[in-house]
Structure 1
Amino acid sequence: MKLFLIAILLFSFINGFSQKDKQLIRDGNKKYDNTKFDDAELSYRKAIENNPKSFDAAFNLGDALYRQGKYEEAAIQFQALSNEDVDKETLSKVYHNLGNSYIQNKKLKEGIEAYKQSLRLQDKDVETKYNLSQALRMLKQEQQQQQQNQDNKDNKDQNKDQQKQDQQQQQDKKDEKKDQQQQQQPEEQKISKEQAEQMLKSMDNDEKDLQEKLKKQLIKGQKGNVEKDW
């Protein structure tokens, strides 16, 4: 994403802009151009120490922080500058860079709003329009992914609920079968007892029949012996 860097020459006419401020900011800009962003940061901070009201040094410090991946610090820097009383073009650049810092820090909605604010001030800026379109696309993808994740979670929860319901139904069936077996068990024991009594009674009857037969045979044999003695 493109960042706007304020060159010292653009603001050299500002009253109260000391020679030392100019030198420190120029030095920072050279280091920035040579991608020595940490050194550039130090130069801009020295310029701010020398002149706390230096908008230029504060703006370029935000750029140096951004280039080092310090997106949250950069956003804080540009957010503070958005309250400064500067011309529309400069303020538009502040919001552009603020939008970049927010986007890199995964704050898409805040970044989109910053880009929109930048375009309200400079509606023909192509870079800001492009960044806004990309941020909107990223936000849409993020929302779609969040919706997909939510749908997956809902389906997973639904499957868990269904699994619990199936397990409960299986357990209910087991409990019902167990209850039926327990209810049938006394009846089976009662039948077995009746069968046992019937078997005993049948055995008694068989024994009685056997004894009757033996008695009859014994009596018959005794009668035969008496006749023979005569």
Structure 2
Amino acid sequence: MKTLKYTLILFLLLFSTKEIAAQKDTITLQRKARTMLRQGNELYQKKQFTDASVAYQKALGNNSKYDKAAYNLGNAFYQNKNFKEAIPQYELTAKTAKDKFTKAEAFHNLGNAQMEAKNYQGAVNAFKNALRNNPNDDETRYNLAVAQKMVDKQKQQKKDDKNKDKKDNKNKDKKDKDNKNKDKNKDKKDGKDKNKKDENKDKDGKGDKNKDKNKDPKKNDKKDQQKPKPKPGQMTPQQVKQLLESLNNEEKKTQKKMNAKKAKGKKIKQEKDW
């Protein structure tokens, strides 16, 4: 019995020691987180927002539920115009913050970041949540009115664009229909012109045919035979005389050319000087 009692006491002592060590580790991490938070705040005051964001991230690394570090990290991102990165930090702060004032501040800045990201409906929701936690914040109320106006403007723009697209499509359909009718009428007109042209062509062909019929083939043949052609082997005495004279003259010309060539072909004898 005593042995069981001592064992229970020893177990309680060991458990207490571990619990105390865990508490000490937690306290140590929280202290480190606060130290990094202060460093980040100093850098933020110097407008060194990038370095400040690194310090705040280290603070959250030591204490992930450190809402002040998350809120300040969101501010550092916001100052560097990293609005999309700032949004989740403000959301985390709004979720983990225990007092309404901190929640209201987180929702207010969340609304501003959503406005910069052009998510106007998200901004409206954030500003409304900020006012639920702090109804007396006139600045938040003013931002809510601006955000709501932007939402209405965005909706109207979408409506106008939709109506414009509808009108453009209607005009396009009308234009296509007009062009289709125009092409149809053109084809019809071209068909009529073609039929008319073919009809005229048929008439012309018929007239030419009739014209050819009016021609007298016997008359044409008679006209072509007005000049008689000489028959081979039949020559008049006068033609024979002319042919003989022509041959005689041709022979004289040939003989004269031969004599000229012989005279031209003689070699000149050159006397040598011995």
Question: What TM-score do you get using the length of structure 1 for normalisation?
Answer: 0.71
Name the counterpart of 2:202. Answer: 190
Matching of residue 178 in structure 1 with residue 187 in structure 2: no
SS of alignment partner, residue 171 of structure 1: helix
Residue 71 of structure 1, aligned match among 52, 72, 83: 83
Matching of residue 90 in structure 1 with residue 102 in structure 2: yes
Distance 1:59 1:85, change over 3 A: closer
What is the CA–CA distance in structure 1 between the aligned matches of 2:155 and 2:65, rounded to whole Å?
41
Matching of residue 149 in structure 1 with residue 165 in structure 2: no
Distance 1:84 1:195, change over 3 A: same
Residue 116 of structure 2, aligned match among 88, 99, 104: 104
SS of alignment partner, residue 44 of structure 1: helix
Deviations 1:156-184 (A, max 9, x none): 33333333223222211211111112333
Residue 66 of structure 2, aligned match among 54, 65, 74: 54
SS of alignment partner, residue 83 of structure 1: helix
Residue 178 of structure 2, aligned match among 166, 169, 181: 166
SS of alignment partner, residue 96 of structure 2: coil
Greater shift, 193-202 or 60-69, is seen at 193-202
Higher relative contact order (CA 8 A, sep 6+): 1
SS of alignment partner, residue 77 of structure 2: helix
What is the CA–CA distance in structure 2 between the aligned matches of 1:193 and 1:71, rounded to whole Å?
88
Cα displacement (A) at 1:30: 2.2
What amino acid does structure 2 have at the position aligned with 1:139? Answer: V
Greater shift, 122-131 or 165-174, is seen at 165-174
Structure 1 segments of 4 or more deviating over 4 A? 15-19, 197-204
Asked whether the 8 Å contact 2:120–2:147 carries over to 1, the reply is: yes
SS of alignment partner, residue 136 of structure 2: coil
What amino acid does structure 1 have at the position aligned with 2:49? Answer: F
What is the CA–CA distance in structure 1 between the aligned matches of 2:170 and 2:95, rounded to whole Å?
50
CA RMSD of aligned residues (A): 2.6
Name the counterpart of 2:137. Answer: 125
Name the counterpart of 2:128. Answer: 116
What is the CA–CA distance in structure 1 between the aligned matches of 2:30 and 2:37, rounded to whole Å?
11
What amino acid does structure 2 have at the position aligned with 1:159? Answer: N
Distance 1:199 1:28, change over 3 A: same
> Identity of aligned pairs, percent?
30
Structure 1's unaligned 5+ residue stretches are 1-14, 208-230
What is the CA–CA distance in structure 1 between the aligned matches of 2:168 and 2:118, rounded to whole Å?
28
Cα displacement (A) at 1:197: 4.8
Name the counterpart of 2:147. Answer: 135
Greater shift, 180-189 or 63-72, is seen at 180-189
Question: What TM-score do you get using the length of structure 2 for normalisation?
Answer: 0.61
What is the CA–CA distance in structure 1 between the aligned matches of 2:54 and 2:202, rounded to whole Å?
100
Deviations 1:133-157 (A, max 9, x none): 1111222222233333333333333
SS of alignment partner, residue 35 of structure 1: coil
Name the counterpart of 1:45. Answer: 57
Cα displacement (A) at 1:19: 4.3
What amino acid does structure 2 have at the position aligned with 1:133? Answer: A
Structure 2's unaligned 5+ residue stretches are 1-25, 220-274
What is the CA–CA distance in structure 1 between the aligned matches of 2:177 and 2:44, rounded to whole Å?
65
Cα displacement (A) at 1:122: 1.5
